[in-house]
Structure 1
Amino acid sequence: MAKRKKSTADDNDLSSEDVHPQFGISIQELEKLMQTRGHEGIKELKEIHGGLSGIEQKLKTNLITGLSGKEIDLSTRIATFGRNEIPQKSPPTFLCLMCDALKSWTLITLIICAIILFALSFYRPSEETLETKIKSKETNVEWIESAAIIIVVLVVVLVTAFSDWRNERQYHSFQSMIELNQKCNTIRESTVQQIPIKDIVVGDICEIKYGDVLPADGIVVQSNGLKVDEYSLTGDSDLIKKNESRDPFLLSGTCIMEGSGKMLVLAVGEHSQMGMIFKLLGTIKEENNRDKRTNDNKKQNTTVDTDVSEHLVKSESVEDAIINKHNASASQEVIPDNANQTSNEDDPIRFKVEKQSVLHTQLTKLNIQFRYAGMIIVILTILVLLVSFSIEELIQRREWGYKYWTQIVRYFITCITVFILIVPESLSTFATLSLTHIAKKMAMDNNLVRHLDACETIGNTTTICSNKTGILTTNYMTVVQVYVGENHWKNVENPAKEIIIPANTKEIIFEGVSVNSSYFSQLLPPEEYETLAKQVGNQTECSLLGFVGALGGNYDEIRRCYPEEKFVHVYKFKSARKYMSTVIQRPDSIVRMYTKGASEIILKKCKTILNRNGDIVPFSNFDYDHLVQTVIEPMACDGLRTICIAYRDFSSDDLPDWDDEANVVDQLTCICICGIEDPVRPEIPDAIAKCRNAGITVRMVTGDNVNTARSIALKCGIISANDDCLALEGKEFNQRIRSRPDGKIEQNLFDKIWPNLRVLASSSPQDKYVLVRGIMASKIYPIREVVAIIGSETNDVSALKAADVGFAMGIQGTDRAKEASDIILLDDNFNSIVKAVMWGRQVYDSIARTSQFKLTINFATILCVFIGACIVKESPLRVTQIFWINSIMATLASLALASEVSAEDLLTCKPYERTRPLISRTTMKNIIGHIFYQLVIMAFILFAGAKIFDIDDGRPVDSIYKPSKHFTIIFNVFVLMNLFNEINCRKIHGEKNVFRGIFTNSTFYGIWIVTFVIQIVLVQYGSFLFSCVALTFKQWMWCFLFGVSVLLWHQMINLIPTTCHMPKLGTHNIDEPASPDTSSNAGM
C-alpha cells in the first residue's frame, strides 16, 4: 500500500496551483486523499474538503442525480482528471518483430554461409589457369544462388514478422473486446445507465453491489451493509465494512463481498491506487528491462485477459510485495462452508489441472522428437556429402581449389535448410493461428474467450455442470400461482380481477415487495415490437414487481417514500442464507422488517400468518406441513420457484440488536407464497440431445428445491421419466459422500454417486465446488473426466478455477466470477456452450490437417535431399526452392486448412481424450503413404525423366550453377503433388469424398488458386532466382498429371486398414489429479 502522508498547509498550497478553474479540487489533492485514507483521511475529508457535501460541490456533481452526461462536461473531466484506462505497453513495431525473427540461429548461420558463398563467387586466384581464363570471359552467375538465398531468408523473416504482427493485433483486439464487455451502473441525468468502465469519469455516481470489482477509487455515498475485500491492495484478509462515517474510502480493484450502495468516483486510471502501483512497477511506460515475449510464450500461453504478474519485473521493492499480494488474491477462494475449505497450496487438484495446456505439451514434445531426428539426419547428410565429394576428388586426383570451398559451403547451406525443415516450429505458430481463429468464431457465437487454452480444452469436455436460471431457462420470470389469504390461486393471468385479497394484505404485499428488493431491479416499458415489459436487475424480484403492478400497485411511488439511504438495516441476499430482509421506519412509528426467500426456509421462521380477512392468526408445525404438501410441493412439481414473503413489526422503543440476525429474522408473519415460472428455452432440449450424442453428460446444479429442479430437468431432457438417474438435494448429497467422524469426503463413496447424478438441487457454491473436484479426481474410468462448469456468483470462483473450463455468465455473472473464468458466456444461453464445444473440437481437427500436410511435405523434402545426397551427391531441390516449399507455400496451405470447418459433424462423435495423440494412426498412415508415393515419383523423374521428356540430364556437376529443365520438372512435380495433397488433407477421418464442401469455403480455394498461380510464375519466370527454366505446355501437362495422381493414391491409402502397429506421435500422459481422500487435505 502506498505510504500515507500527513496533510500540511504547504501541500495544500502546492496542489491548489493545479486546480482547474471549473473545479475546486486538483487531481493531486484527490490522489493524496485516497493515499491517506484511514482516520487521517476521514479527518482530512471533513476538515479540509468539507466532507462529502464539500467534495460534491468541488467536483460539480450531484449525489442524487449524478452528472449531466453532456459531452463538454465529460471531456473537461477527462482532460482534468484523466481517463479510466491504464495504458498498456505499446505493441512491438514491425521492425522489432523482424529483429526477433532474425534471432533464430539457423537463419543467422544460413545468412553467414550465403555471404561467404557470395564472396567466393567473385573470388579468383592470382594464378590464372586456362579454365579460369575461360570462366572469366563468361557471365558470372555463381553469385545469384547466394543472393537468392539471402533474398528468400529476408522474405521468410518478413512473413514471420507479419504473422507475429497479426497475432499482436488480434491479441489487442481481444483485450478491447473484454474491456468493452466490462460495464458499470452509473447514474447520469437521474437515470441509471450501463456504461463501459473505461468511460467512467471523476464525479460519476456509480451503483455498486455484491460481486462487483470496483472500477475506480471513490468514497461511499450510500451503504447497505457494504463489505469489501481489500486483500488485493492491503493484504488484509478480513472483509472491511464500508459506510459514510466509519470508512468511506473505496479502492479500485477491490471486490464487494456483501451489500450494495453508491460511490462517488474520485480517481480513475493511472491516478487510482491500482494505477499508481502499475506506474511504479513500470507497466505503463517502457521498462528499462523489457520482458521478452518469446514465440512459445506468446503463441502457446497467450492469455487474452493478461494477469498483472505477466508484466512484472521481479525485485525486492515494496511495490513488488504489494503487487504480489494482488496476484495472490486472484486465487483467493470465498466458500461459505469453511469447515471443508482447503488452501490453494494444499489443493492437489487445483495445481495439477488448473493451467495445463495439453496442446502446448504435445507440440513441445513433438518438436523435441523432430529436433533429435533433425540433428541425426543433418549429420548423416553432411557426412555423406563430404565423404562422397572427397572420395571423388581423390580418385580423379584433382588439385584443391577455391571452388571446393564453394561446394563445401553449399553443402552446409543444404544441411541447415534440412534442419529448418525437420523441426516443425511453424506448428506452434499455426496452433496459435488456429486458436485465435477459433476464438474469433466463438466470439461470434457469444463465447468471449479469455484464455486461448480454453479453446482446445472445451473440445475434450465430457461433463458440463450447468446452472438452471438464465442458462437452461429464459430468465424472464412471472408469477403464475400464489397462495394468499388461505386460498391457492393456480392460474394467475389477470390477478387484479381473479384474486380476492383483503386491502390491508394487498398494501403489505405492495410495500414488502417494493422495499425488500434491490432498487436496481425495475421494470421498463416494452421495447419496439415487444409486448412484455423489460426486466432489469434480478429477475425473481422483477417478477414480484410485475405481480405488484398486476394487482394495481406502483412500486416506484413506494420506493420514493422509502429511499435506500433511510433504511434502518438490510440483510442482503446470500446463497448461504437464501433470503433477504429490509428494515424500514414506517410513518406510524412502527419499525417493520420485510423478508422474502426460499419458501421452506422462511416458513420455518413464521409463527403467524395472514388469513382470508387479513388478520394475523397462529401458524403451527401442522400448518407448515400442510402448506408444504398442498402448496409448495405441487408448485415445485410444476417447475415453479416458490418464494415466501413475510414481515415482522418492532416497537420503536425496544429495537433489537440488528447484528443478531438469527433472533431478528424470526417470529415472522407469513403474507403469501408466490409460484414463479421461468420457462425452459425452446432450443434447450435439442441442445441437450446434441450433447448426449457428442458423449457429453449435462448435470444441473441449482438452488431450487429438488421437485422444481427435477421438473425442469425433465423438460430440458437432462433426465427422462424411466431412467435411473439421481436427483439429490445438497444436504443428502453431502451425507452420502461423507461417513467419517471428521466430515471429510471419501472418494469411493463419491464414485458411487456421480456417474448417475444428473440434478443437484438446493445446493450451495461449496457443493458445486465439491462436485467438480470429485468428478475430476475420480479414477473409475481409464481416462479422467474433463469438466466444464457455469458460474455466476462470486462464491462460484473456486469452482470456476478448479474446473478444466470455467464459463461465467456475461449478463447475470459478477465481475469476480468473470475474472475467474476462462470463457464469458455473453448471452447466458446453454446453446452457446454447445457451439463452443463444436469449435473446441475444431481446434484439434485444424491442427491435425496442418500437421498431416506439413509433416508430409517436410519429410518428403528431407528424404529427397538425403537420398539425392547419397545417390547423385547433389540435392534435386535447390535451397531457394526448399524455402518456397517450406516457408511460403506451407504457410499459405496452413491458412487455407485453418479455414476448413467440420461444423456439427464434430458433435456426432465422442469427445477427444486428453491423452489423444496429436498425430493419430490414421494421420500417420496418410503421412507415410504420401511420402512413399512422392519419393517414388521423384526418384522416377530423377533417373528416367531426361529420357521420358527428351531433355538434357540435369545431374552432371558442371550444371550446378545453371538451372535445367530436368530439375525444374522435379521441383514443379513435387510442388503440384503437395498442392493436390492439400485437398486430401481437408478430410482426416478417412472420408472418401475429399471435395465435399470445397466450394463453400472461398478462403480455401482462393488460397489454393493463388498458390498455383505463384508456382506458374516461379517456374516460367523464376529464372536464376529459383533455379528454374520455363516449361512447355506438354511438360506442364505431365507435371499436372503427376500432381492429380496424388488424389487417386489417397483413395488407395484409405483402403489400407489402420492397425495398432501404426505409430503415433505427440502423445501426452497427463498427471491426473489426486483423489481427495489420498491427500493431506482430503476434505475438499
Structure 2
Amino acid sequence: QALQSLKELAAPEARVLRDASPQWIPARKLVPGDIVFLEAGTMVPADLRLIESSRLQIEEASLTGESAPVTKDAECTLDIAAQLADRHNCAFASTKVTYGRGVGVVTDTGHSTQVGQIATLLESDEDPPPLERKLERFGRTMGIAVLGICGLLFFIGLLRSANLSMLFSQGLSAFWSAQRETVTGLFIVAVSLAVAAVPEGLPAVVTMTLALGTQKMLRRNTLVRRLPAVETLGSATVICTDKTGTLTQNRMTVRQIWTASGLYDFVVPESAPLRLAITLAGEKVRLEDHPVLERTLIVGTSCNDSELTPEGKSEFIGDPTEGALLIAARDACLDLQERPARICEVPFDSKRKRMATVHDAAALSEFGASSSKAIAFVKGAIDGLLPLCAKIETAVGTESMSSDWQSAIQDVNDSMGRNGLRVLAMSYRILEQVSSEPDAEEVETELVFLGLVAMQDPPRPEVAEAVDKARRAGLRTIMITGDHAATAAAIARQIGILRPEGIVLEGASLETMSDEALSAQIDQIDVFARVSPQHKVRIVEALRSVGHIVAMTGDGVNDAPALKKADIGIAMGITGTDVAKDSADMVLVDDNYASIISAIEQGRVIYDNIRKSIFYLLTCNFAEIAILFIATLLGWPLPLTAIQLLWLNLVTDGAPALALAVEREEPGIMERPPRPTDEPIIDRRMLRGFLVQSSALAGSILGVFTLALRGAYSSIAGTMAFATLVLAELLRAYSVRSEDIPVLQLGWRSNRFMQVAVLSSAALLLLVLYVPPLPALFELGRLTRGSWLFVLPFALIPMLATEARKIIQRAWRRREQV
C-alpha cells in the first residue's frame, strides 16, 4: 500500500522541449538531459537541475519536512555536500510547484530520483515485532519441553508396565499382540499429557487482548494498524520524533519585538478566550503608549500578502510568517479593518531577501507624513536590510544609524537566532513621489529602521510534561527534524529533550560518520537537524544496533522508510501523507507527542495483561502435567481425562484469561524502566510465582484425589479432582490480577468482567456436573454435599498460597529498602 501511494504522487505527464518546441509527453519517457518546463500547479516529473527560475516556489514538505514552500534560484551554486533541503537550485520528483515558473534539466528519473530511492528503501523486508519473536521462541521452547516430557512419561510407563524383554526375544509382532492394551493406554496417557501442556486458549487470548487494547488506544487518539505494535510500543526505549506539528503547534507565533525602546515580550495565552499580553521589562504595556512598537506592527501587517479569515475558519490564508504578524497585531488590539491601500510593490525575491510595498501617506497618520505622497514599507532579513537603513526610529524621533546602533541591532538579532527564533526586520521610508512600477533601488534606500520581530512555532503546552513523564519511565526522546540546528536546539532545550551534555548533530556531519561511529555516539545525541530520508533510516539502525526498541514518528514521504524500519512506526493523522500512514504501525489522530506517551502507557498495560493471561493459563497447564506425571509414576489411576483437560483449557480458563486482558493499569506503571529487549515473557520473578502456584495447584488436586480414593468417595475421586481444579482456577484468577498487590487491596469488584467470567465458568461447572448427558460425556460422577466439603477447602489453597507469597515478597522488599 505504501508503494502504491508513492506511485500516485508521480506526475503523469511532463512539458518538455522536443524537436525545438515545447510538448507534453508521459513522464515515464523522460530521460536525463531533457529540458522540462515548470509552472504553478504542476508536479515536478523528475529530479531537475534548474537553469531558469522566476519567483519559483515549490512545496517540498512531504519530501524534506519544510513546512513552507521553498524559493528556488537557478543561479545559486551550492557545496557538493549540501543537504536535500538546502538544494535551492534543484527541483525534485513528486513535489508541487506553488508559484512562479522555471526550466530545468533532468538529472535523475525512476528509482534514481530522491523519491525513487525512498521506494527502494520501502521494498526492504520488515523484522517481526518483539512480541511475535518472543511468542515464537516461547512456543518453540514449550513444544520441545512438552514432547520431551510426554516421551519420558511414555518410556517410564513402558519400563514399569510392559515386558520389554519380549520385544527383543520374540520380535515386534509378538510384543504388540501381547502388550497392545498396555502400550495403547500409555499412549493415551502421553496424549493426555500433551493436551494438558498445550494452552489451547492462548492464541485467542493474546489476539483479544491486543484487539481490546486497540480500542482503548483509539480513545487516546492513537489508531493501531498492526496488532503486535500495541505491545511493542509498551517496550519502547527511544522515541524519535519530528519537531513541527508534533512537539510544536505548527503555528508561527510572534514571541518578541525589539525596538529602540527595548525588548517587548509577547506572552501567548494558554486558553483561547484570553488575549495576547505585551510586556516590557516584565511590566504589561498598552500598544497606544508605545508608538514605535505600533508602527513596527503596522509595517508587518501592511507589507503583507496574507489575509485573516472570518471567525470559525482557519485564522489566516497565506504564508505562515505573515499570518503570525497579522494575528499578533490583531491580538495586540491594532485595528486591521482598514489596512492602508497598496499603490504598488516590489515583490520578495531570494536574492534581496525582502519585499517592499508602497502606500498612500494620507491613510497613515501614525507616521506623521500626511503632507507627503507615499510611504514605503520594507520587511526582510536583517543582513540585507540593515545596511540600507540611514536612520532609526526612537521614542523621541529619528536618529542617525550610528555604528553603535548597528552593533546593538546585530547583537539582538544574534541572540534571537541562538534562541531558535526566526527574525524579520521592519523599516519604512517617506516618499515625495513614486513611479507606477518602482524598482528596488528607488524604494529601498535611506530607510528608517523600526524594529526586529522574532517568531517561533511554539511548543505544545502539554509536551514538556509528557517528555518529563517519558524520562521518568526510562524513555529517551530524540528530535529529528529538517529544520536548522539553532531552531531545533532551542525548542529541544525548552521542552527538556536536549540534556546539558546532549549533542546536536547536523545532517552534513552525519553524512561523514561511519555506521560504527554513529552507533558509538548515538546515546549522546539528542537532536538531529537538517537530515535526509536516508539519515533517518541510519539513525534507526544505529539505535537498534545498541539494543534499543525504537518508536519513530513521521508525516512525509521522506519518513516512510524510517517508519518501516523502526520497531514502531507512528504516522501523523492530520498532516501525514498516505505513504507515511501505509508504512506505519499506528497513526496519531491528533499529531500530538503527548498522545505517544499515553499510547506507550497503554502498551505497557497491554503487555502486563498478556503476561498475566499467559501466566494464568500456563500455571494451570503445568499443574495438570504434574498431576498426571506424578499419578503415573505412583501407579495411580489418572485423576483427569483428556476431554476434561480440554474443557478446563478452553472453557474454564478461557473466560478469566480474557477478563485479565481488560485489567486496569497498576500504580507506578510509568515509573518503571522499559523491559530489556531480551527479557523472556516468563521472567525469573514470574517463574518463582509460577512454581509456587503450580505446586499449590498440583498439591491440592492430588491431595483431594488421594483422600477421595482412600475414603468413602473413591468412585467419584476423579470428579472431585476435576471440580477442585476448576474452582481453584476461578478463585486464583482474582489473585493473578496483580503480581504484587493483594486481592483485598485491589478489590473484588474492581474488574466487573472478572465477575462475569468467574460466575459464568462456575455455572458451566454445575452444568457439566449435574445436567445429563454431560456428566456421562465427560466421565464425571455426581458430587454429594459431603464431597463438596472436601472440594471447597482444597480449592482455596492455591489462591491463599499466592496471596501469602505477595505479602512475604512485599515485606522482604520493604526490609531491603530500609
* TM-score, structure 1 as length reference: 0.53
Identify which of 370, 393, 408 aligns with 2:142: 370
> Cα distance, 1:652 vs. partner?
7.9
Aligned to 2:800: 1048
8 Å CA contact 2:221–2:590 kept in 1: the answer is yes
Partners of 1:716 and 1:904 lie apart in 2 by 26
Shift of 1:763: 4.8
Residue 509 to residue 715, structure 1, CA distance change in 2 (3 Å): closer
* Whole-angstrom CA distance in 2 between matches of 1:792 and 1:1008: 46
String of CA shifts for 1:933-975, please: whole Å, max 9, x gaps.
2222333333331344x22x24xxxxxxxxxx22110111111
1:944 to 707, 712, 720: 707
Q: 1:839 and 1:710 mapped to 2: Cα distance?
A: 30
User: Relative to structure 1, is the Cα distance of residues 325 and 478 closer, same or farther in structure 2, using a 3 angstrom cutoff?
Assistant: closer
The SS at the match of 1:986 is: coil
Contact 2:121 2:561 in 1 (8 A): no
**How far did residue 611 of structure 1 move?**
5.0
CA deviation after TM superposition for structure 1 residue 377, in Å: 2.9
Amino acid at match of 1:982: A
Tell me by how many angstroms 1:885 deviates.
Answer: 0.8
Q: In 1, are the aligned partners of 2:302 and 2:339 still within 8 Å (CA)?
A: no
- The SS at the match of 2:668 is helix
Taking a change above 3 Å as real, the CA distance of residues 650 and 968 of structure 1, as seen in their structure-2 partners, is farther
Native 8 Å contact 2:288 2:294 kept in 1: no
Partner of residue 21, structure 1: none
- Contact 2:115 2:558 (8 Å CA) reproduced: no
| Structure 2: gaps of 5 or more residues | 1-7, 26-39, 42-57, 64-68, 73-83, 86-90, 101-109, 167-173, 267-276, 279-284, 361-375, 441-446, 811-818
Distance 1:451 1:555, change over 3 A: farther
What is the aligned counterpart of 1:457 among 200, 215, 232?
A: 232
Q: Counterparts of 1:324-403 in structure 2 under 5 Å?
A: 332=118, 344=121, 355-383=127-155
Alignment check: 8 A CA contact 1:479 1:543 kept: yes
Equivalent position amino acid for 2:601 in 1: M
Distance 1:1002 1:258 in 2: 55
Deviation at 1:750, TM superposition (A): 7.5
Given the alignment, which residue of 958, 968, 978 partners 2:729? 978
1:608 aligned partner: 388
Aligned to 2:212: 437
Task: State which drifts further: 1009-1018 or 433-442.
Answer: 433-442
Query: 1:113-128 maps to which residues of 2 (within 5 A)?
Result: none
Counterpart residue number, 1:856: 619
**Residue 500 (1) aligns with residue 291 (2):** yes
Query: Is 1:725 aligned with 2:500?
Result: yes
Q: Identify if the C-alpha distance between structure 1 residues 409 and 553 changes in structure 2 by more than 3 Å, giving closer, same or farther.
A: same
Structure 1 residue aligned with 2:662: 899
* 3-state SS of 1:481 partner: strand
Q: Please state how far the C-alpha of 1:1024 moved relative to its aligned partner.
A: 0.7
Aligned residues: 695
1:696 maps onto 2:446 in alignment: no
Cα deviation code 1:786-833 (max 9, x no counterpart): 343444454444554454434333334444444444332222333222
Residues 584 and 501 of structure 1: is their aligned pair in 2 closer, same or farther, counting only changes over 3 Å? closer
Map 1:657-736; keep pairs closer than 5 Å.
673-676=452-455, 680-700=459-479, 716-718=495-497, 725-726=500-501, 730=505
Partner of 2:638: 875
**Against the structure 1 CA distance between its residues 450 and 982, is the aligned structure 2 distance closer, same or farther, given a 3 Å change threshold?**
same
**Deviation of 1:1019 (Å):** 1.7
Contact 2:620–2:697 (8 Å) recurs in 1:
no
Partner Cα separation in structure 1 for residue 407 and residue 564 of structure 2: 41
Paired residue type of 1:603: D
- Preserved contact between residue 211 and residue 255 of structure 1 (Cα < 8 Å): no
Instruction: Give the equivalent residue in structure 2 for 1:513.
Output: 304
Q: Please give the alpha-carbon distance, in whole angstroms, between the structure 2 residues aligned to 1:904 and 1:586.
A: 65
Cα distance in 2 for partners of 1:414, 1:678 equals: 70
1:84-122 CA-to-partner distances (Å, cap 9, x unmatched) read xxxxxxxxxxxxxxxxxxxxxxxxxxxxxxxxxxxxxxx
Q: Provide the residue aligned with 1:418 in structure 2.
A: 193
Would the aligned equivalents of 1:797 and 1:820 in 2 still touch at CA under 8 Å?
yes
Match of residue 257 from structure 1: 95
CA deviation profile, 1:155-189 (whole Å, cap 9, x unmatched): xxxxxxxxxxxxxxxxxxxxxxxxxxxxxxxxxxx
- Cα distance, 1:681 vs structure 2: 4.5
- 1:744 maps to which residue? 513
- Structure 2 residue 415 is the aligned partner of structure 1 residue 633: yes
Q: Does 1:1034 align with 2:814?
A: no
> 2: distance between equivalents of 1:555 and 1:1037?
92
**TM-aligned CA distance change 1:453 to 1:674, over 3 Å:** farther
Report the alpha carbon displacement of residue 907 of structure 1 after superposing the two structures with TM. Answer: 0.6
Structure 1's unaligned 5+ residue stretches are 1-30, 46-62, 65-207, 214-222, 227-237, 240-246, 248-253, 263-323, 334-342, 528-532, 572-576, 656-667, 955-964, 1059-1084
Q: CA deviation at 1:1046?
A: 1.2
- In the alignment, what sits opposite 1:92? none
Instruction: Note closer, same or farther for the CA distance 1:691–1:507 as it changes in structure 2 (3 Å cut).
Output: closer
Distance 1:694 1:381, change over 3 A: same
Task: Rate the CA distance shift 1:891–1:976 in 2: closer, same or farther, 3 A.
Answer: same
The one-letter code sitting in structure 1 at the alignment partner of 2:729 is: N
Report if the CA contact (8 A) 1:523-1:545 is conserved.
no
The verdict on how the C-alpha distance between 1:718 and 1:508 changes in structure 2, with shifts beyond 3 A counting, is closer
Distance apart, 1:931 and its partner CA:
2.0
Query: Is the Cα contact below 8 Å between 1:854 and 1:890 reproduced in 2?
Result: yes
Please say if residues 451 and 822 of structure 1, whose CA atoms lie closer than 8 Å, have aligned partners that are also in contact. yes
Query: Structure 1 residues 860, 583: closer, same or farther in 2, change over 3 A?
Result: farther
Distance 2:146 2:494 in 1: 58
Q: Contact conserved, 1:582 with 1:594, CA < 8 A, in 2?
A: yes
Distance in 2 separating the partners of 1:697 and 1:764: 19
1:189-223: CA deviations, max 9, x gaps? xxxxxxxxxxxxxxxxxxx964469xxxxxxxxx9
Q: CA deviation at 1:778?
A: 6.9
* 1:1015 equivalent in structure 2: 765
1: distance between equivalents of 2:59 and 2:622?
Answer: 60
- Is the CA contact (8 Å cut-off) linking 1:211 and 1:256 kept in structure 2? no
Are 2:639 and 2:717, in contact at CA under 8 Å, matched by a contact in 1? no
Q: Which residue does 2:604 correspond to in 1? A: 841
Give distance in 1, aligned partners of 2:329 and 2:199: 67
Shift of 1:898: 0.8
Percentage of matched positions with identical amino acids: 23
CA drift at 1:636? 6.2
Per-residue deviation at 1:332?
0.6
* Post-superposition offset of 1:680: 4.9
Aligned-pair distance for 1:471?
3.8
- Gap change, CA 1:421 and 1:401, over 3 Å in 2: closer
**C-alpha spacing 1:644/1:471, structure 2 compared with 1 (3 Å):** farther
Q: Compared with structure 1, are the counterparts of its residues 375 and 1026 closer, same or farther at alpha carbon in structure 2 (3 Å cutoff)?
A: same
Greater RCO (CA < 8 Å, at least 6 residues apart):
2
Report the alpha carbon displacement of residue 257 of structure 1 after superposing the two structures with TM: 2.7
Does the alignment pair 1:911 with 2:674? yes
User: Would the alpha carbon gap of residues 419 and 643 (structure 1) be closer, same or farther in structure 2, given more than 3 Å must change?
Assistant: farther
Superposed, 1:52-71 pairs within 5 Å as: none
> Matches of 1:1055 and 1:898 in 2, distance apart?
24
| Residue of structure 2 in register with 1:1001 after alignment | 751
Q: In 1, Cα distance between the equivalents of 2:557 and 2:389?
A: 35
Give the superposition deviation at 1:869: 3.7
Provide the rounded CA distance (Å) in 1 between the counterparts of 2:755 and 2:341. Answer: 66
